[in-house]
Structure 1
């Protein structure tokens, strides 16, 4: 009996309603607990499948987007992403608060409003 190769349909493009894009960044909310983060100086983003996520055609999860000229926040039931839009991803410009993070260790030390003045 011949062994048949298993085939998975590739659908690497996410639903546009789950994508938040700026000049140099793109965030894709895949599930309430999974977000794809991309930064590109040239503003060109990849839509190829990755080893981790072959298919991004998930149902659009519930999330909120809060945005102004300086910052972007994406909130789901599981996390709260904060991004200062003035530069590439870095510890001073991007952080994610995990809502079920019951630990004594904090994932940030300064307020986002204070960090905005550093750009």
Structure 2
């Protein structure tokens, strides 16, 4: 598959994957909390459980396969990143808004470039 968006998509997926690893290893790094409570740990683990498999699938699968399954995964990744923009906005987290916005745009352009 010759597609300009393969590598930007891989980078965006890797960013989400790295965020999941950071959330798992150091939950306070993403939340900014000085003391992480049980509820916060639960949500950060949920984020990790989503980010790791989806980041791997969305980033790597398009290099090996084509078709509706890949398109569905890329669309899911774009949708999740768009929701993350909204969450970042509600928290006033400019970094989250920027990073998730860039990933949303990349995943969306990649989705529309798929055959």
* TM-score bracket relative to the smaller structure: under 0.3
TM-score, with structure 1 as normaliser: 0.21
| Larger RCO (CA under 8 A, 6+ residues apart) | 2
Larger Rg: 1
Higher strand proportion (structure 1 or 2): 1
Higher helix proportion (structure 1 or 2): 2
